[in-house]
């Protein structure tokens, strides 16, 4: 029996290295192309007027002022609804269920399923439920509520992690001091879980702003400044869509709007990552 004399591993290693570096190069080039393109075409249009003036001529000229307002309002509704529900559910999950109780598992499973539902289906649902059944019609309210459904799983998950990250010692000490469960919750645990909450919030906001399909049938197309929550309003993402698909010659402003949206999202996701790393000491994937 001969001793293993070793084969020449160099060609295979070299081939593997080439493969890996090419993949990385391909990815980098494609993305730089994309980002560069948007930056190049969009930067020239951005100005304070652009950000505050109303759109004219179906959006070919003018700015995106009312659109930003609508987007903010939709976001506001979304968060206003999902925050209390989200935090409540997270508290329930973290405090009153253990990791493998049936209830806990069911809830987590449904949360997973909810995050897998395509956004257009949310749009359908929002249209059927909020617009028709609840009679809200195409409005900022419908849009916000639909988005709340989408954002809920992310918020709940992140807040729950924040709660679970609270060391058991806190609770034990509180119990030893004779504090009631509610007091412990409100004064001790809630503040400690705030980082997780904030991270979830940022992630949720990021997701909500990027949403288009869910809003098309729920918050409408109107690009005027909205007067109330029941008014129809156009979100930034929809504006980009409209300008590129339905408005010939709208490309220039579409580029600029896209730049604004991307910049906004970068800021939000960047903050979420930073918060997570420094407060939660954990890396997150912003999907």
Judge residue 71's burial from the number of C-beta atoms within 10 Å of its C-beta, 0-12 exposed, 13-18 middle, 19 or more buried.
buried
Interactions with another protein, residue window 162-191 (CB under 8 A): none
Stretch that binds another protein, among 21-29, 68-76, 162-170, 184-192 (CB under 8 A): 21-29
Binding segment for another protein (CB under 8 A), chosen from 47-55, 68-76, 118-126, 226-234, is 118-126
Give the Cα separation of 74 and 46 in Å (integer): 23
| CA-based nearest residue to 206, from 159, 271, 255, 142 | 271
* Interaction of residue 134 with another protein, rule CB under 8 A: no
Smallest distance, another protein to C-beta of residue 187, A: 25
Tell me: does residue 251 bind another protein (CB under 8 A).
yes
- Which of 29, 44, 101, 120 binds another protein (CB under 8 A)? It is 120
Instruction: Enumerate residues 58-97 that contact another protein by CB under 8 A.
Output: 85, 89, 92
Toward another protein, which CB reaches closer, 19 or 225?
19
Helices (H), 44-186: 48-52, 65-96, 102-116, 119-126, 140-164, 168-176, 181-183
Q: How far apart are CA 243 and CA 213, in angstroms?
A: 15
* Closest CB 271 distance from another protein, rounded Å: 12
The single residue among 244, 247, 275, 280 that binds another protein, judged by CB under 8 A, is 244
CA distance 282 to 268: 17
């Amino acid at each position: 029996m001969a001793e293993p004399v070793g084969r020449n591993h160099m060609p295979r290693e070299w081939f593997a290295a080439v493969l890996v570096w090419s993949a990385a190069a391909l990815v980098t080039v494609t993305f730089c192309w994309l980002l560069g393109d948007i930056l190049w075409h969009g930067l020239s249009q951005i100005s304070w007027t652009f950000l505050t003036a109303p759109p004219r001529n179906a959006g070919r000229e003018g700015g995106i002022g009312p659109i930003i307002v609508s987007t903010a309002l939709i976001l506001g509704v979304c968060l206003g609804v999902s925050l209390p529900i989200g935090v409540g559910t997270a508290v329930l999950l973290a405090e009153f269920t253990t990791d493998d109780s049936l209830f806990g598992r069911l809830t987590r499973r449904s949360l997973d399923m909810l995050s897998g539902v395509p956004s257009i289906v949310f749009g359908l649902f929002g249209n059927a439920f909020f617009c028709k059944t609840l009679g809200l019609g195409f409005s900022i309210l419908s849009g916000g509520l639909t988005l709340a459904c989408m954002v809920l799983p992310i918020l709940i998950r992140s807040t729950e992690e924040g709660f679970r990250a609270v060391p058991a010692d806190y609770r034990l000490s509180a119990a030893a001091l004779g504090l009631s469960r509610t007091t412990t919750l409100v004064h001790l645990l809630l503040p400690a879980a705030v980082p997780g909450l904030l991270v979830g919030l940022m992630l949720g906001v990021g997701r909500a702003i990027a949403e288009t399909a869910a809003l098309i049938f729920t918050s409408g197309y109107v690009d005027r400044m909205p007067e109330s929550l029941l008014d129809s309003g156009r979100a930034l993402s929809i504006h980009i869509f409209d300008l590129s698909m339905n408005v010939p010659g709208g490309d220039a402003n579409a580029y600029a709007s896209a730049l604004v949206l991307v910049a906004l999202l970068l800021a939000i996701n960047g903050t979420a990552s930073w918060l997570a790393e420094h407060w939660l000491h954990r890396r997150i994937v912003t999907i």
